[in-house]
Amino acid sequence: MFCNAPVESNRVFTRHFATMVALGLAVIVTGSCAARTTGTGLLPRPDPSAFTPAPSQPERPFSIQADVLSRPIFRTEQAVPFRAEILDLLIPPGRGTNVNHEGLALVETLEGVGIVTRQNQRTPISAGTVFGLSQGETAQIDNSGNEPLTVRVYVITTR
């Protein structure tokens, strides 16, 4: 017991020192916050007349097609024996779209959540979900979330 006395004393000193440092930091932080009498409120609203639209447009902008935004990403030339097409669909919350293509389609969910209905079967989808559609098969994709649902559709059609 005699040998443990200095060790116990060091523990008490260390605990006391840590408490004092924490208390000192709390006083400094509280004092510096109280010294600011004006605070840091919200930024003022920007002047709308100071903004002008950018003169450039995106290379592949979205266009509205039946309550859904759509944009082509890639399309092959006309001379090849098959046609490959990649397009993005942006489906607003509470809306849906029918995916109907002539060829084989692979649909990849990029972001958001929804429900796909095909052949009277409902399947939940979310980011990372991929499903295929046979030639002539259709699917209804509905956004069941609170954020936009973005899907990428890869279509291959033979000529």
Sketch the domain layout of the chain as residue ranges: 1-34, 63-158
pLDDT for position 33: 53
What strands, in cross-sheet order, belong to the sheet with 113-118? 96-100, 138-143, 113-118, 121-126
Strands (E) across the chain are located at 63-65, 68-75, 82-91, 96-100, 104-111, 113-118, 121-126, 130-133, 138-143, 149-158
Residue 131 φ/ψ region, left for φ over 0, alpha for ψ in the -120 to 50 degree band, beta for the rest: beta
Give percent of the chain above pLDDT 70: 84
Residue 38 has pLDDT above 80, yes or no: no
Token pair of 149 as six digits: 């649902």
How much is the pLDDT for 13? Answer: 65
Dihedral sign, Cα of residue 149, residue 150, residue 156, residue 159: positive
What pLDDT score does 101 carry? 84
In 3D, which of 124, 113, 123 has the Cα closest to residue 147? 113
Tell me, what DSSP letter sits at residue 42? P
Q: Are 90 and 79 in contact (CB under 8 A)?
A: no
The CATH architecture of the domain made up of 63-158 is Sandwich (2.60)
At residue 56 the predicted structure's pLDDT band, cuts being 50, 70 and 90, is confident
Q: Does position 32 have pLDDT exceeding 70, yes or no?
A: no
Stretch 29-58: mean pLDDT: 72
d(CA 63, CA 37): 50
pTM recorded for the entire structure: 0.63
Residue 37 is predicted with a pLDDT of 54
Question: What is the H or E stretch that residue 12 is in?
Answer: helix 5-35
Per-residue pLDDT tens over the stretch 96-152: 999 988 889 999 999 999 999 998 999 999 999 999 999 889 999 999 999 999 999
- Residue 41 in this model has a pLDDT that exceeds 80: no
Closest by CA to 69, choosing from 143, 13, 123, is: 143
Q: How big is the chain, counted in residues?
A: 159
Residue 1: per-residue pLDDT: 45
* CA proximity to 98, closest of 116, 73, 82: 116
What is the rounded average pLDDT of the residues 55-62?
82
- In this structure, of 30-39, 45-54, 127-136, the range with the lowest mean pLDDT score is 30-39
In the prediction, which pLDDT does 106 show? Answer: 95
Which one is predicted more confidently, 135 or 53? 135
